[in-house]
Every structure is written in C-alpha cells, then in structure tokens.
Amino acid sequence: MTLICAVIAADTPAAAEAMKVEALSAGAEAFEVRLDAFAEIPDDFSFLPTEKPVIATLRSELDEERREIFAKALTSGATYVDIESDSVLRGVFPKSRVICSYHDFTKTPAAWDILRIFRDLSSSGLPKAAFMVRGPADLLEIWKAAVVLKQSGDPFILIGMGAAGEVTRIRAADIGSMISYCAVRPEFASAPGQITVAEAARLGDDPIITAITGWPLEHTRSPQMHNAAFRAAGIQGRYVRIPSPAAELPLLPEVLRCYRIRGANVTIPHKQTVMPLLSEVLPEAKSAGAVNTILVDPAGRLTGTNTDIAGISATIAELRITPSNARVLVAGAGGAARAAVSCLTAAGAAVSVTNRTMEKARTLAAEFGATAVPRDELSAGYDLIINATPAGMSGFSQDIPVPVSILTPDTAVFDMVYEPEMTPLLAAAGDAGVRAAVCGKAMLIAQAAASFTLWTGIEADAAAMTAAFGGSP
Ligand code: NAP
C-alpha cells in the first residue's frame, strides 16, 4: 500500500499546524515536515503531527546543527529523518529511523544503475530515490527497476520527478513505492508532477490513467480539460503528460502497457509517425492521414483513431453549415487541413485548398477530389473559410492567411487557432461583417470530449472542459 504523504512546508509552527489540519481532512496518511521551510527552526517541536507517520527533512550545509535538530525531531515524535546518501550524517542515526535519500535532478539512469543506488541506500535506512524523468525511456527504466525492487518485499520509495514523471506518482502503488509525496494545495507543489493530497485521495490506488504525448508539451491545455471531465463525471481518473522526443516514440506502446494507461492523445509532431507503431488504425484516421487518439485494450493492443474530425464536424455544425451543399475554402495543407478536407469532401462539400506552398495544396486536393487555388486567384463566394495554418497563433506569423476581400456577409469563418481566441483573421472577419466566426477552442474541446468518451464510455461534460480550458491541471 502506498501512503499519501503531505509535504508540510510552512514558515511558522502555527502555519505548519494549520497545513497539517487541512492535509488530514483531505486524506493525508503521512507527513513530511520540511524543517528548512521555517523562517527560524523552533525550539519546541510539539508542532510535529502525532496522528500519522512523520518524516523530518532539513536540507542544510550546517551538519552539526542538523545533527542536533534531527536528534530532537526523533525524540519529539518524528518517525524518520531524511538524510541524503552523500551526507556526513549518514550512519549517525539508527537505520530504522532514517530515510536514506538520493536525488538526480537531471536524468534517470539505467534500471541496473537504479538498483545499484537502492542497494547502497538500503544499507543506511529506508531507501528513497527520485529521478528526473524526461520521456518514455526514463519511464521504462523506472518501471524495470521497480519490478526487481518489489521482488525483495522490502519497503522502498521510488519517484519520477518532473511533469513527465507524474505517471510514476499516480501509479505509485503499481511501482511499489511506500510513499507518494503530495502537496497540500496546488500552489504549494514543490515539484512539477506533484499532485495534491485531495487529488491522490480521490484517485485511490488504482485510477484510470489517460495521457498526451507530443514534443514539446508545455503549452497543451488538454490535461486541464480532461481532468475537469474526470472530476465532473465522478471518475477516479487522471490525464498525464508523457512528452516524447521523436527518437523515443517507439517506446510509447510499452509505456502505455506497463503503466496501464487506457488511452493517449497524440499531438505535434507525432500524429503521423505514431501510425506504424499501432496494431490497427481506424478508417477515419487513415483517411485523415493522422492519429490523434490511441485506445489501449485490456490485452495491450493499440488502436489509433482521429477525433479532430469530430471536433471539426462539431464546429461546422455550430456555424450552421450543412456540408453536403457547402462551398468551403481550406487554408493550409498540413495535418489539420487534411482532416478538414477529408471529412468535408466525404460529406459532399465542394472544397478548395490554398496554401503557402501550392505544391502541397495540389497534392492534398488531388487525393480528395478538391480544387487547389493559389492565394492570388481566390475570390469571394465561399460559405465557409477555414484557417488550418498557425498564422495568427501566438508566437507565429500574424498574417491573415486569405485575402480580406473574400470575407463577405454570406461567409462563415472557422479559425482553428485557439491561442489567442481573437486572431487577425477573426478580427478582419468581424470588420467585414461575416455571418459567423469561431476560433479553434470549440474544435479543441469537441475533439477532447470525443477522446474522453472513447476511453471511458461516458459522455464528457463539455461545460466543465470549457470552464477548465484556461485553468490549472
Ligand atoms: P502542420 O501540419 O505543421 O501544417 C501547417 C500548415 O500551415 C502548412 O500547410 C503550412 O504551409 C502552413 N503554414 C505554416 N505557417 C504559415 C504561415 N505563417 N502562413 C501561412 N501558412 C502557414 O500543422 P497542423 O497540425 O496542420 O496545424 C495547423 C494549425 O491548426 C495550427 O495552428 C494548430 O494549432 C491548429 N490546430 C488546431 C486544432 C484545434 O483543435 N483547434 C487541432 C489541430 C490543429 P507550408 O505547407 O507552406 O509549410
């Protein structure tokens, strides 16, 4: 069993006491009291919690002072003191009262090296090691080491740090880690990937896990949306980030199986390259030439599909466009444009494609029976204009990807960009008095909702996802 350990980092004994009370009511089963967070180390240690196991931690160079403080903590009710493996205080206190810890803030070593570190730590106390997780390779090394560590039956603490390590915290029970360190509130989290006590208690030992992979993943809004949908549905589930550099993408299927991840979204730049790694790719994803959603069945078989198409269809419906007799212009010839062209042509729309690189527009149009039109030959007359380029997105060119002259009151505009929600194209569309205009937020939420339903069998609460769009995960 893994204990939910609340990290108490407060600057006064009174604040520590208040945090303890809050953590206990949220479901804390143990405490780590960060003595180094106090403005001044108190003389009286009666603030230490007595209800549950307590770990006293104090990172400091002042070893003599630390020795005294740790001795006092142990006589005042602390169950363990946390002592780093390279400290001169190693070996000073009884092994049964020490957590001997090791941190690597830059990487995760190979599994055999992790095991060597644990062998060394366990000679001085309960072994604890935390490693920075950078992607699938590191997650697998932690997993392989955990399999061996569990066989011994001796307690240990093993943590993957960083946003990519979150799945090791959520699967702490599978890993066999005796403790999972949690923040009392989100704003008190001492490391990326650390969840709150309340969230750990809500999830229990065996939650559903879903994930997103891509590279980089810092700016994704998907965790906020999916975690809101889990909470709204009352499901013990958590959506985690698994950033994956291209070279490590082939390891993703094994990570999904080991950590029992039920499904994953795939984003830039892996939507195409992930396809050969899957057991099956469903027809809509084949047609769109991209997978944005993976389903993992209980036997570990991976199926790829594409819910961007559901997102596009939902947005088009919101604009009150009937595709079967609509004239549509798609700007762009990448993955998002391809998804739009494939679903619109299948629905019977007359689709034109324009793109900065016209050769790509011609290839895309030819594949789906659409028409390629260079930008300087475009004229008014479209029922719907879709921007499927990053033009207008923060950090990208702020050009308008189509001539402003084709924005007329009979036209609706769908800009797939969602950050910012008002783009130069949408501003120009407003000035031109177009019939309707939307940004990519509705598409993003609709594709997320569709993925959620595929993984859980439950309809996602789109309002909860929308409300969480700009919030914290
Ligand atoms: P992609 O595969 O990289 O394709 C990008 C396309 O945009 C290419 O055709 C490229 O032209 C064109 N392009 C790039 N920069 C441009 C610029 N400054 N001006 C004009 N055209 C430009 O990307 P993608 O996956 O299709 O995504 C395209 C956009 O859709 C992104 O902004 C993305 O955020 C958005 N998107 C939104 C959602 C949603 O849910 N709302 C979902 C998917 C994508 P070349 O061929 O000349 O390089």
- HSE-up of residue 6 (Cα within 13 Å, Cβ side): 30
Where are any strands of DSSP class E within 26-134? 30-34, 54-57, 80-84, 98-104, 126-132
Residues 122, 85: Cα–Cα separation, whole Å:
10
Alpha helix ranges (H) inside 234-274: 252-258
pLDDT tens figures, 187-220: 988 888 899 999 999 999 999 999 999 999 988 9
Ligand 1 mean position, distance from CA 145 (Å): 41
pLDDT of residue 472: 54
Task: Assess whether pLDDT exceeds 80 at residue 473.
Answer: no
pLDDT value of position 268: 87
The interaxial angle of helices 441-456 and 222-233, nearest 10 deg, is: 50
pLDDT at 15 over 90: yes
Check pLDDT > 70 for residue 373. yes
CA of 234 to the centre of ligand 1 (A): 36
Predicted local distance difference test score (pLDDT) of residue 393: 94
pLDDT value at 471 more than 80: no
Q: How far does the centroid of ligand 1 lie from the alpha carbon of residue 231, in Å? A: 32
Measured by CA distance, the residue closest to atom 1 of ligand 1 is: 334
Q: What is the pLDDT of residue 153?
A: 95
Q: Is 386 in the pocket of ligand 1 (CB under 6 A)?
A: no
pLDDT at 202: 97
Q: What is the pLDDT of residue 325?
A: 87
Ligand 1 within 6 A of CB of 253: no
Closest CA to ligand 1's atom 39: 444
Pocket lining: 306 vs ligand 1, CB cutoff 6 Å: no
Task: Give the pLDDT confidence of 436-460 residue by residue, as tens digits.
Answer: 999 999 999 999 999 999 999 999 9
Q: Residue 328: exposed, middle, or buried by beta-carbon count in 10 A (0-12, 13-18, 19+)?
A: buried
User: pLDDT > 90: what percent of the chain?
Assistant: 95
pLDDT surpassing 90 at residue 430: yes
Q: Which residue has the tokens 């057991």?
A: 279
Q: What is the pLDDT of residue 469?
A: 85
- Average pLDDT on 323-351 reads 95
List the residue whose alpha carbon is closest to atom 36 of ligand 1: 416
Token code pair at residue 320: 């009150």
Distance separating alpha carbons of residues 144 and 137, to the nearest angstrom: 11
Nearest to 356 by CA among 385, 376, 386, 336: 376
- Please give the Cα distance from 437 to 343 (Å, whole number): 20
Question: In the predicted model, what is the mean pLDDT of residues 73-94?
Answer: 96
| pLDDT-wise least confident of 85-94, 183-192, 372-381 | 183-192
Question: How many Cα atoms sit within 13 Å of 23 on the Cβ side?
Answer: 34
Averaged pLDDT score across all residues of the chain:
96
The Cα 412–Cα 432 span in angstroms is 11
pLDDT digits (tens, 9 = 90+) for 375-402: 999 999 999 999 999 999 999 999 999 9
Instruction: Kindly report, residue by residue over 119-134, the tens digit of the pLDDT.
Output: 999 999 999 999 999 9
390 within ligand 1 shell (Cβ under 6 A): yes
Render pLDDT for 238-268 as a digit per residue (tens, 0 to 9). 999 999 999 999 999 999 999 999 999 999 8
Of all atoms in ligand 1, which is nearest to the CA of residue 441? 41
425-430 long-range Cβ contacts below 8 angstroms, 24+ apart: 425/387, 425/391, 425/392, 425/400, 425/401, 426/392, 428/400, 428/404
State the pLDDT confidence band at 342, using cuts at 50, 70 and 90.
very high
Ligand 1 touching residue 90 (CB < 6 A): no
Identify the residue whose C-alpha is closest to ligand 1 atom 34. 417
Q: Is 395 in the pocket of ligand 1 (CB under 6 A)?
A: no
Q: 337 C-alpha vs ligand 1 centroid, how far in Å?
A: 7
